[in-house]
Each structure stands twice: as C-alpha cells, then as structure tokens.
Amino acid sequence: MDYTIADENSSEQLDENNELYEHFKIVADKGQALMRIDKFLLNRIENVSRNKIQQTAKAGNIHVNGSAVKQNYKVRPADVVTVVFSYPPREIEITPEDIPLEIVYEDQDVIVINKQYNLVVHPGHGNYSGTLLNALAHYFKQTDQAVENGCGYLAHRIDKDTTGLLIIAKNELAQAVLARQFYEHSIERKYQALIWGTPKEETGTITGHIGRSLKNRKVMDVFPDGNYGKEAITHYRILEHFGYVTLVECQLETGRTHQIRAHMRHIGHPLFNDVWYGGDKILKGTSFTKYKQFIENCFKILPRHALHAKSLGFKHPTTGKHIFFESELPSDMLNVIEKWRSYTASRDNE
C-alpha cells in the first residue's frame, strides 16, 4: 500500500503543493472467496465509508488487474486491486470572507482561479482565515450556488507566495476524477520562474525524491538516492538569459511540496528572492554598490519568490473534453524581468 496525501501543516512557510489523493494497492489472497469489491475494500482499508467507495467507483478510480470496475464487481483470488481516493484536507470550518478572486473559468463542476500573491490556499495552523477557500465560500454564497462543502474541494495546491492557476472541484465526484488525473500525471502544469545563475543545459530534467528537511522542518530537501521522501520529477527549459539570472519554464510531472523551489536549489539555481531556499541574497555578480542597490530594488518590487503557475490543462471531469488555460505573469514578476532586460542591455552596451 502506498499513498500521497497532503500534510496539513500549512503555515506561512509550508502551504502544501502536493496532490490531495491517496493510493492503495491490495492483492487478494489465493483463497479469497467471491466478495463485492465495496465490501472487500471496507474490510481492508481503515476509515473509509461505503459512500466514499461508491463515489470512487463512479469516478473510475477503482481498478482490478488494470481495468476500472463498478462497485458490484466480485473480487476473485489473486486479483490486484488499486484504488485512488480523493481526500479533502482535515475538516476546518470555513467562514466566508470577501476576498477578491480572479476567476478564469467556471461551470457546474469546476472553477479555475488565477491566484494572487500572499494568499494561502487552505486554512490551517497559523492561517485560519483570509485563505482562498474563505474567498470561495463567500463567492459561492453571493452567487447563490449550492456547492458541496460550501467552498468546493481542492484538487491540488500552490504555495502562498506562488501566483497562478489552480483548479477547485465543486463536488466530490469531480474531485475524485481530477485526483485520478493527478495520480496518472496527465494534468499539464507549466510554471515560469526567475532563477539565480544559468543551468548548463538549455533543457533538462531534475529528479530526486523530495521530503521534509532533516535539519530544518520548515523546508523541503532533495534526496537523490531515494532513501527518503517521495519521487519528484521536474522538466525545465530556458526561456531568456539575463547574465546573472535566468527565466525558465518548469513542467511538473509530479507535484511535491515546494518541488520547483527545492529542485532548483538542489542544482544550484534557487529562485530569485526565495527566502526559504537561499535566493534572497546576491548569489551571482559582484557586490559593488550600484549592483547591490539594483538587486535590493528588485527585491522590493518582487517581495516573494519568483514563481508563477502559468498554464494548466486537464480533462474535464464530466464531459471528458480537454481544456487548457494560460495566465499572464503578474506585474511584480513582469516588472523585475523588464528591469533585468534593461540592466543586461546596458551592460552589453558598455
């Protein structure tokens, strides 16, 4: 049995970024008597209800020997049963709050938000209000929508200070279908990041398990030998060179907590102004007064790590149609990138 489920410690530093699903693999005994799969799973998995199993089967998330089955399937000896459960975060009362939202798309099953800077996704320790879900609870109430759970269900997360696109399911069935797509890595997610230095290759893939640091529990570390943490894969390509910093596109194959931030630090190129991963100091270039002032001005314009969830593609949970969204970089990132363009051009002309 393996699983991936959000660790609900969403402090300012640890607004989680991993998928909200749990995966089980169970092999039936050779002497297994014929038994409905819903009853079989009730007996094998703790803290799961029959209703949850029924919803999971309806979403196509219960497979036997590689094929999806219905809840009345009879388990046979040596059957290999795999299940992907979608799970909301730990229950916390969500109070509606009037917080502005940029809605990119909405229908009866999903809503896509372009999240702003300095907004935690879900209430948790240290952030019991002022979150995206509080904002959604208010929005759904104002628009008189009977959305399950009052604020919908998260399908994934992005960090408090990361901007960009995020999917929220309006009902549990939609969340379950999206969970399967996250588990199968079929969700398309591309980010843009400004990083210190320049990677050796124009394109590349960063691998290495990611887990909470053994030295500092507020950050994540990369464990290349795979003895700790969970598998993580990030593909990147360089978009633009600025001498001491580089604009890159990152495509996620997995969605671990702080994945891009941890992977980029691991290869020696932390995100620009990333306080928790060492990017909030001058890492490239000489520290003469004029350059130091330029960097400090950039940090003031962009008071966060330079990361934006730019595009998002997925199969609609009800229609099955592939839908794709893109968002513009926020003004703070755009302004800093333009400053770097001007700085680089002035150096080239010297």
Secondary structure class of 218 (helix, strand, coil)? coil
Q: What is the token pair recorded at 127?
A: 């952030």
**Pairwise CA distance, residues 90 & 275, whole Å:** 28
Q: Which one, of 157, 262, 160, lies nearest residue 210 by Cα? A: 262
User: Which residues, other chains included, contact 70 with Cβ-Cβ below 8 Å and sequence gap of 6+?
Assistant: 57
Packing angle of the helix pair 37-44, 50-58 (nearest 10 deg): 130
8 Å CB contact between 125 and 14:
no
Pairing of strands 110-115, 163-169: antiparallel
Active-site residue identified among 15, 38, 109, 159:
159
- Residue 159: active-site member: yes
**From start to end of the chain, where are the E strands?**
21-27, 35-36, 62-64, 67-68, 74-75, 80-86, 103-106, 110-115, 153-154, 163-169, 188-196, 203-207, 209-212, 220-223, 233-241, 245-252, 307-315, 322-326
Q: What is the token pair recorded at 90?
A: 């730990």
**Pairwise CA distance, residues 79 & 66, whole Å:** 10
8 Å CB contact between 180 and 61:
yes
Secondary structure class of 338 (helix, strand, coil)? helix
Q: Hey, which residues are catalytic here? A: 159
